[in-house]
Structure 1
Amino acid sequence: MADDLGIGDIGCYGNGTIRTPNIDRLAKDGVMLTQHISAASVCTPSRAAFLTGRYPIRSGMVSSNDYRVLMWTGVSGGIPTNETTFAKVLKNEGYATGLIGKWHLGLNCDHSGDHCHHPLNHGFDHFYGMPFSMMGDCLQWELSEKRLALEGQLRSYIQIAALVALTLTVGKLTRLKGIPWTLVILATAAALLLFVASHFMGVLIVHADCFLMRNHTVTEQPMRFQRTTSLLLKEARGFIQRNKHRPFLLFVAFLHTHVPLVTAKNFRGKSLHGLYGDNVEEMDWMVGHILNTLDKEGLSNSTLVYFTSDHGGSLESQLGDNQYGGWNGIYKGSKGMGGWEGGIRVPGIFRWPGVLPAGRVSDEPTSLMDVFPTVIQLGGGQVPQDRVIDGRDLLPLLQGAAQRSGHEFLLHYCQGFLHAARWHPRTGGRLWKVHYMSPIFQPEGAGACYGRAVCPCSGENVAEHDPPLLFDLSRDPSEAHPLTPDTEPLFSQVLERVKLAVQEHRESLTPVVPQLDSLNVWRPWLQPCCGSFPFCWCNWKDDRP
């Protein structure tokens, strides 16, 4: 799974200038899905849905504020312990289960070592990588996704301390009894100290989040990025070699292609698309090494390989004339947009020689959530019956035994707000897309919300459509021409049928604790640190490649 990769960045999906021969080889030897959809357009909720086969709103991996992903490791939010991942099911079936790379689904609940949300608590028996996520702050990148949020939180602490100091001072000056000058001085000093330390602490905290962990142990904090790629690649090859004589599930969650686009020297300046293109080509090289390891160990014919991205590329990752985010091809919108195709349509490639036909292409609507029931059933497990599973088994479609996917409807959320829904009628060939809400692009006429990390999900910069916008994706995949009652005779009928499906979906939801609201506030006692916070510093030499 790539991070923030645009579907238009890969050769087999139409890119003729970025070199991705290894990913293209997967598509040539396997099945390529052209309408593969993520359940969210940002990292945390999309990955939660991928692992559980459920819309993020069912597990509480949504929010009603601007914190759309887990913003720090020192928060108590994360994938709930009562959720079942495909790793947990396959581990119970005797599989060795490993996660290498990015997690970004939480770590602790009550203290810095309880690891309630840790991958090892969700079915993986081996973990090596980033419990958090690559962020621009890790290298003091100008495109910071969380520094402003952290500074805003610290600013609120400063305001509270200043208000307390002011109240005590006024009380003392008006001769209110019981308020000693010592208390006034301490409160004032606390406000001043927080003000002076806010920037310093912000830098320390964001760098403290950029660390590597092996199972439950922090091994490198902060990360030495010049060797991160080789460490992760070495770990992936080692996991395959150690488990080649038993069934295994390996989830390689690349740190590529998220800013700050950490790229080895031998790839820098080699592509035609600047640092972003260099980063994509390095990731493809990593894919090639993993495939070569399978070949060398004689495992290729007995291994299902799947390649995807967690969501679309980020058009807002731009500084001046330099674009540091992905390209989403012909599709409108980008990362962070709940409904437009550019934020949710992702690569979907499956290879299994001798089991899946080589060179097959399917245009059927499919979802990242479909991996959950597919791998569970292939591994001999049982899909949970005690909860709603939104994913559908892909194997019949991949093998060509079925011509239609298991999805008649797919819903597209932005946080807890339903932005859009698609309908592929069982009896017809047309594919409808209904938009209830969509961001207002800034500047007007642009395809993104420049000047922000991502477009908002609600509020004054989001348009609510009444009547909803209607598109026929089978004829207009770029969503350039909204239909009207005058141009589409089925306009009202389609809207009514999709409305009914949405109502049925909402009736299936049960209240859960939102993990990305109040549980997503930084708490110092939850911050992982291999030293004495805030001076977190360690480097295990035995982790060198």
Structure 2
Amino acid sequence: MQGTREREDMLHLEHSWTPNIDRLAADGVMLTQHIAAASVCTPSRAAFLTGRYPLRTGMVSSNGYRVLQWTGVSGGLPPNETTFAKILKDKGYATGLIGKWHLGLNCESSDDYCHHPLSHGFDHFYGMPFSMMGDCESWEMSEKRAGLEHKLNVCSHVMALAAFTLTVGKLTRLVAGSWALVICSAIVALLCFTTSYFMGALIVHADCFLMRNHSITEQPMRLQRTTALMLKEVSSFVKRNKQGPFLLFVSFLHVHTPLITTENFRGRSPHGLYGDNTEEMDWMVGQILDTLDTEGLTNSTLVYFTSDHGGSLEAQFGNNQYGGWNGIYKGGKGMGGWEGGIRVPGILRWPGVLPAGRLIHEPTSLMDVFPTVVQLGGGQVPHDRVIDGRDLLPLLLGTAQHSEHEFLMHYCESFLHAARWHQRNRGAVWKVHYVTPIFHPDGASACYGRGVCPCFGDKVAHHDPPLLFDLSRDPSEAHALTPDTESSFHQVMERITKAVEDHRRTLSPVPLQLDMPDNIWKPWLQPCCGRFPLCWCDREADPQ
């Protein structure tokens, strides 16, 4: 089970009521240094499914587009990448994905499905091909609508002014030429104004819809019933496939702006709407665990719970914090190297196999799930490509004392921002920052007013020498070490520099899926239930 975007690390919400996640943790193994491969969703999810850094699969950008921007884009997880779902499907597993995808859909037409979950090893999909966002509801925070409306309003004003100026010029004979230019300017102004007026509805229909396999079932989504639909689908999948081996990836739409929460949970948490949404997500976890209990599958099922990145500190409106909190860890979503953006919860439960209540304080990665489940499913990790994940089983079972990760790299888009070294003989976890975002305003702890911190340009700081921290002594990254305060400063820098050089030699150039032109909306790629652009349908039975 994977949460989405703003992290649901209940260890950081001291007063939230999360009995089901607590039950998972008490009955399983907790990874206290579990690291996402990216601090935003699209690249992190690609790394999770493939066991490879996003830069290897091309699921990054170099121009500021951090995630896939629309459903109707041609970018996505390349067809030649191998997911753990594909390997397990080939080994006879029923494979399902329920929830958020956000790894692309089509390449050349609206129904070629080259990036669809069913093209990446899942034989059943139900959920959002895109991502939950504030624009899916008329909400006070907007990811796309507000910016697009502003640009279109500027367009309409400029073109209207041009039409007016040309008209006056023509009537006073100060401007020569045809009236065609006046008419064209007026038409463009009208188009920009009309598009701006309907932009919110266009986004909702373009991105906020549900699919079952290749068919759209609800466009746009009726958000208040989505939770019930997801749980119904989980229960149905488990019951259909309980007689054989199955892999089910439940990718929650919680906890994510606009924090869609059903009436039963609204107003329950002292943490406001974010807390309400978190408690509902915990209840969903409980419903899934209860389904396993009811079907007699608890002792034969490995359950894994995590998040794809840290909380979004910039997701604020007035005095309301909608993006979560990262506890003692500095930074948050969108920050390539700071711990708050990439350290995520990691819980694994397998009664009778994994020891209950165990804590593992070793660096591990979301990419480790790939070789771990492939090994458990009787498959083989591909040998024709670099796999960055490491099998977790020896660590989980206690037959190994240390993680196989000596080094981990931390990217922001295609730019290396930080790297960590687990020096096992000293018990130290060193981390160097080559680039960090410049927080805004001065003295802040995030990039407030900018949506998300940038990865390059004049809004980041380059450090020479790099910033050095020992996370084993300073997990908050509050005190950068110097040659005066750390006797092994230069030796640590030399060792990590060598590791970065070795890592870069393993990289091969690939097309960047999140760059232009693969990450702009293309009308011919837009999935539509009905006649475009009037995309509307409701084929869902009431789940209540």
The TM tier, using the shorter chain, reads over 0.9
The question of whether the paired residues in 1 share the 8 Å contact of 2:12 and 2:325 is answered with no
In structure 1, how many angstroms separate the alpha carbons of the residues matched to 2:369 and 2:149? 38
Residue pairs, 1:357-372, within 5 angstroms: 357-372=355-370
Alpha-carbon offset, residue 278 of structure 1: 0.4
Q: Which residue of 1 aligns with 2:533?
A: 534
Q: Which residue of 1 aligns with 2:461?
A: 463
Q: Which residue of 2 aligns with 1:515?
A: 513
Q: Which residue of 1 aligns with 2:142?
A: 144
Q: Cα 1:214–1:153, aligned 2, differ >3 Å: closer, same or farther? A: farther
Q: Which residue of 1 aligns with 2:309?
A: 311
Match of 2:195 among 194, 198, 211: 198
Alpha-carbon offset, residue 379 of structure 1: 0.2
Match of 2:352 among 351, 354, 363: 354
Alpha-carbon offset, residue 163 of structure 1: 13
Q: Secondary structure at the match of 1:199?
A: helix
TM-score by length of 2: 0.94
In structure 1, how many angstroms separate the alpha carbons of the residues matched to 2:364 and 2:295? 32
Q: Which residue of 2 aligns with 1:444?
A: 442
Q: Which residue of 2 aligns with 1:2?
A: 3
Alpha-carbon offset, residue 506 of structure 1: 0.9
Residue pairs, 1:130-529, within 5 angstroms: 130-151=128-149, 184=181, 187-208=184-205, 209-518=207-516, 519-529=518-528
Alpha-carbon offset, residue 185 of structure 1: 5.9
Q: Secondary structure at the match of 2:362?
A: coil
Alpha-carbon offset, residue 153 of structure 1: 7.2
In structure 1, how many angstroms separate the alpha carbons of the residues matched to 2:291 and 2:304? 15
In structure 2, how many angstroms separate the alpha carbons of the residues matched to 1:517 and 1:153? 21
In structure 2, how many angstroms separate the alpha carbons of the residues matched to 1:113 and 1:233? 27
Q: Secondary structure at the match of 2:428?
A: coil
In structure 2, how many angstroms separate the alpha carbons of the residues matched to 1:470 and 1:65? 27
In structure 2, how many angstroms separate the alpha carbons of the residues matched to 1:313 and 1:364? 22
The question of whether the paired residues in 1 share the 8 Å contact of 2:157 and 2:189 is answered with no
In structure 2, how many angstroms separate the alpha carbons of the residues matched to 1:156 and 1:380? 58
Q: Secondary structure at the match of 2:396?
A: helix
Q: Which moved more, 1:74-83 or 1:533-542?
A: 533-542
Alpha-carbon offset, residue 151 of structure 1: 4.4
In structure 2, how many angstroms separate the alpha carbons of the residues matched to 1:94 and 1:459? 48
In structure 2, how many angstroms separate the alpha carbons of the residues matched to 1:273 and 1:491? 42
| Identical pairs, percent | 70
Alpha-carbon offset, residue 284 of structure 1: 0.3
Q: Secondary structure at the match of 1:505?
A: helix
The question of whether the paired residues in 2 share the 8 Å contact of 1:164 and 1:187 is answered with no
Q: Cα 1:155–1:393, aligned 2, differ >3 Å: closer, same or farther? A: farther
Q: Cα 1:154–1:58, aligned 2, differ >3 Å: closer, same or farther? A: farther
Q: Secondary structure at the match of 1:105?
A: coil
The question of whether the paired residues in 2 share the 8 Å contact of 1:334 and 1:342 is answered with yes
Matching residue's letter, 1:348: G
In structure 1, how many angstroms separate the alpha carbons of the residues matched to 2:231 and 2:495? 48
Q: Cα 1:58–1:151, aligned 2, differ >3 Å: closer, same or farther? A: farther
Q: Alignment length, in residue pairs?
A: 537
In structure 1, how many angstroms separate the alpha carbons of the residues matched to 2:83 and 2:199? 34
The question of whether the paired residues in 2 share the 8 Å contact of 1:162 and 1:187 is answered with no
Q: Secondary structure at the match of 1:283?
A: helix
Q: Cα 1:515–1:162, aligned 2, differ >3 Å: closer, same or farther? A: farther
Gaps of 5+ in 2: none
Q: Cα 1:253–1:541, aligned 2, differ >3 Å: closer, same or farther? A: closer
Q: Cα 1:66–1:148, aligned 2, differ >3 Å: closer, same or farther? A: farther
The question of whether the paired residues in 1 share the 8 Å contact of 2:334 and 2:453 is answered with yes
In structure 2, how many angstroms separate the alpha carbons of the residues matched to 1:153 and 1:468? 39
TM-score by length of 1: 0.94
Q: Which residue of 2 aligns with 1:63?
A: 61
Which string of whole-angstrom CA distances, capped at 9 and with x for unpartnered residues, describes residues 119-176 of structure 1? Answer: 111110000000000001011222111224544776898899999999x999xx9989
In structure 2, how many angstroms separate the alpha carbons of the residues matched to 1:497 and 1:150? 46
The question of whether the paired residues in 2 share the 8 Å contact of 1:165 and 1:191 is answered with no
Matching residue's letter, 2:488: L
Alpha-carbon offset, residue 6 of structure 1: 3.2
In structure 1, how many angstroms separate the alpha carbons of the residues matched to 2:432 and 2:150? 36
2:94 is equivalent to residue 96 of structure 1: yes
Q: CA RMSD in A?
A: 2.4
Gaps of 5+ in 1: none
The question of whether the paired residues in 1 share the 8 Å contact of 2:419 and 2:432 is answered with yes
The question of whether the paired residues in 2 share the 8 Å contact of 1:204 and 1:534 is answered with no
Q: Cα 1:58–1:186, aligned 2, differ >3 Å: closer, same or farther? A: farther
Alpha-carbon offset, residue 26 of structure 1: 0.7
The question of whether the paired residues in 2 share the 8 Å contact of 1:96 and 1:243 is answered with yes
Q: Which moved more, 1:487-496 or 1:366-375?
A: 487-496
Matching residue's letter, 1:511: P
Q: Which residue of 2 aligns with 1:122?
A: 120
Which string of whole-angstrom CA distances, capped at 9 and with x for unpartnered residues, describes residues 157-203 of structure 1? Answer: 8899999999x999xx9989xxx865x46643542233222313421
Alpha-carbon offset, residue 301 of structure 1: 0.6
The question of whether the paired residues in 2 share the 8 Å contact of 1:161 and 1:187 is answered with no
Q: Secondary structure at the match of 1:410?
A: strand
Q: Secondary structure at the match of 2:411?
A: strand
Which string of whole-angstrom CA distances, capped at 9 and with x for unpartnered residues, describes residues 266-321 of structure 1? Answer: 10100110000000000000000100100110101110000000100111111111
Which string of whole-angstrom CA distances, capped at 9 and with x for unpartnered residues, describes residues 102-127 of structure 1? Answer: 00011111121111111111110000
Q: Secondary structure at the match of 2:79?
A: coil
The question of whether the paired residues in 1 share the 8 Å contact of 2:232 and 2:543 is answered with no
2:51 is equivalent to residue 50 of structure 1: no
In structure 1, how many angstroms separate the alpha carbons of the residues matched to 2:510 and 2:176? 50
In structure 1, how many angstroms separate the alpha carbons of the residues matched to 2:153 and 2:522? 15
In structure 2, how many angstroms separate the alpha carbons of the residues matched to 1:25 and 1:403? 25
Alpha-carbon offset, residue 485 of structure 1: 0.7
Q: Which residue of 2 aligns with 1:81?
A: 79
In structure 2, how many angstroms separate the alpha carbons of the residues matched to 1:433 and 1:46? 20
Q: Secondary structure at the match of 2:98?
A: strand
The question of whether the paired residues in 2 share the 8 Å contact of 1:435 and 1:470 is answered with yes
The question of whether the paired residues in 1 share the 8 Å contact of 2:148 and 2:196 is answered with no
In structure 2, how many angstroms separate the alpha carbons of the residues matched to 1:155 and 1:322? 28
Q: Secondary structure at the match of 1:289?
A: helix
The question of whether the paired residues in 1 share the 8 Å contact of 2:31 and 2:345 is answered with yes
The question of whether the paired residues in 1 share the 8 Å contact of 2:155 and 2:189 is answered with no
Which string of whole-angstrom CA distances, capped at 9 and with x for unpartnered residues, describes residues 50-104 of structure 1? Answer: 0000000111111112210111111111111111110011100100000000000
Matching residue's letter, 1:191: V
